[in-house]
Chain A
Amino acid sequence: MSLCSPGIKAKFKLDRGEFNLDVDLDLPGRGVTALFGPSGSGKTTLLRLIAGLDREPGLLKVNGEVWQDDTSFVPTHRRSLGYVFQEASLFPHLTTRHNLEYGMKRVPREERRVDLGRVLDLLGIGHLLERKPDRLSGGERQRVAIGRALLTSPRVLLMDEPLSALDMARKQEILPYLERLHDELDIPILYVSHAPDEVVRLADYIVVLNNGRAVAEGPLAETLARLDLPIRLGEDVGVVLDAVIGERDEAWHLARADFVGGGLWVRDNGLPCGHHVRVRILARDVSLSLTHREDTSILNLMQGTVTQIADDNHPALVLVRAQVGEASIVARLTKRSTSTLGLLPGKPVWVQIKAVALIG
């Protein structure tokens, strides 16, 4: 990716004794990029450097515009960005309306591309306009904070664990709104999170940070299918596939999610044909077989080829990656089974998928 193309070039190196950050990233200029890693890995530090809230030597270009290099540093308020903090941080002395308008009013009229009505609609906050923040629920506050950031029509939206201060129910309340942002607005999002479920649901691109270094980066599906990541998306190793609802079997309440290379039968939850969905397949729900088994309760059977075998975190287990069409699927097997079946890269197998989760 060249420096002039749309995208974010971020190169920072800092040494604060116990904490180091050393990254050189070229991030896509569209979609949701997750900065994923355990706490203390440098995610928030990196986001604050990109926002200019903290200052350390480095190079930062956003869509070809230099925000920081050796000689210049654009202060935060002159950067076209939106920032959503972990806590909503609404101004307590202002109503929802004035919170939303705070940033919007400070952007020249001709640069406003995001419409107030649209944001109210997208985030479902139209009925809260005259309330002060202390009369809003946690989820409502965070939605207003997201709206407030969007209304500055930013070139990039930075989100620092926007859901982590919320309980599970509030989180589930906001996630669909975040998906709508992703689908309906053409604003690239940098999304800091340590929650695998948020990342697999929202991200298109992922940067895995550990101890201040980017240990992996790439498109989400591709990166999740890598077996050599030192950091896993939690205990649940698995892959994510982007798919389209291709057929609905109303008699059995099933729907088929088609991806390049196959189709997966999932529970039909009412999505129409043609709807884009994301499915997650955990490695523990995948088994491999050398022959096509008809007498099985498993619904999803697909032909594939073993591409890689790697150790798992227990000496009895291995992770096996199989190529199915253009997708990669990872299975967690015992070493014994792998040996019994004689699995090696290049070997054709039948991939049996016991469970598929439809996310978003």
Chain B
Amino acid sequence: MTPDDLIAVLLTLKLAGVTTILLLLIATPIAWWLAHTRSHWKEPVGALLNLPLVMPPTVLGFYLLLTLGPQGPVGHLTEAIGLGRLPFTFWGLVVGSVLFSMPFAVQPIQNSFEVMGSRPMEVAATLRAGFMDRFLSVAVPLARPGFLTAIVLAFSHTVGEFGVVLMLGGNIPGETQVVSLAIYNHVESMEYGPAHLLAGGMVAFAFVVLLSLNLLARRREP
């Protein structure tokens, strides 16, 4: 493996790791709201969050490029508060990946909350636990399968991302060049050996992920 490839692998893992952590923090309250709200906004918000499932990643990347770019509204904001420009940086990729993998994190967590129902939280409330207390001591442990699925899916989906990172990140080694882009580069330059190595690694990774999901699902059955 070339040093550049190694850097791409490490960058990919870092991107997936940061994305997964941020997603858990963002997706959990959204999933809770979707599981419990009776608001009319539930369906539109759910549909909006699920758009990445059916949209070409390049479309999301394109709009993000415009929004986060120097002429875009968010771009103005990030420059004004001193964060600089997000496109073609690692943190730009993080923003894109978080949005792109959102449905993969929200849905399993939301399902777990819905399966759990409201009773356990009511019981905890009658046992003197305030909201955050009972959320952490009851809801999170009971929704553990959903959280595990969300972590695995968000992480692996980010690892496998190509379109958004290409549009939003360019292809800058060490900054935004992730494994999927590195493979593309190798093939473009007819370097099939390194391409094989990385591509094979991705296949093995995907297999391990799916296998562990299945094992996880089986263990959950009584």
CB of B204 within 8 A of chain A? no
Interface presence of A149 (CB below 8 A): yes
Chain A interface residue count, Cβ-Cβ cutoff 8 angstroms:
24
Q: How far is the CA of A253 from the CA of B130 in the complex (A)?
A: 57
Interface residues of B in 109-125 (CB under 8 A from A): 119-120, 122-125
Asked whether A103 lies within 8 Å of B142 as measured between CB atoms, the reply is: no
B127 touches A102 (CB 8 A): yes
Q: Does A148 contact B (CB under 8 A)?
A: yes
**Residue of A81, A82, A89 with highest tally of chain B CB at under 10 A:** A89
Please tell me if the beta carbons of A77 and B120 are within 8 angstroms of each other in the complex. Answer: no
Within 8 A of B (CB), among A108-163: 134, 148-149, 152
- In the assembled complex, which residues on chain A have CB atoms less than 8 Å from the CB atom of B142? 91-93
B8 to chain A, nearest CB (A): 40
A107 adjacent to B128 (CB under 8 Å): yes
Report which of A51, A85, A134, A152 forms a contact with B128, defined as CB distance below 8 A: A152
Given A75-B125, A76-B125 in contact, is the A89-B130 Cβ separation under 8 Å? no
Task: Using known A-B contacts A91-B138, A92-B142, A93-B141, determine if residue A76 contacts B126 with beta carbons closer than 8 Å.
Answer: yes
Say yes or no: B119 contacts A89, CB within 8 Å: yes
Q: For residue B123, which residues in chain A have a CB less than 8 angstroms away from its CB?
A: 83, 85, 89, 91
- Closest residue of chain B to A108 (Cβ to Cβ) is B128
A103-B138 Cα distance, complex, nearest whole Å: 12
Q: Tell me the smallest distance from the CB of A112 to a CB of chain B, in Å.
A: 11
Q: Does B99 contact A (CB under 8 A)?
A: no
Chain A residue with the shortest CB-CB distance to B142: A93
CB-based contact A77/B138 at 8 Å? no
Contact across chains for B125 and A53 when beta carbons are under 8 A apart:
yes
Residue B129 lies at the interface, judged by CB distance under 8 Å to chain A: yes
Q: Which B residues have a C-beta under 8 Å from some C-beta of A? A: 119-120, 122-130, 133-134, 137-138, 141-142, 144, 222
Residues of A within 8 A of B (CB): 51-53, 75-78, 81-83, 85, 87, 89, 91-93, 102-103, 106-107, 134, 148-149, 152
Q: 3 closest A-B pairs (Cβ-Cβ)?
A: A103-B127, A83-B126, A106-B128
Complex A-B: 27 CB contacts under 8 Å = A53-B122, A53-B125, A75-B125, A75-B130, A76-B125, A76-B126, A77-B124, A77-B133, A81-B126, A82-B126, A85-B123, A87-B119, A91-B120, A91-B123, A91-B142, A93-B141, A93-B142, A93-B144, A102-B124, A102-B129, A103-B128, A106-B127, A106-B129, A106-B133, A148-B127, A152-B127, A152-B128
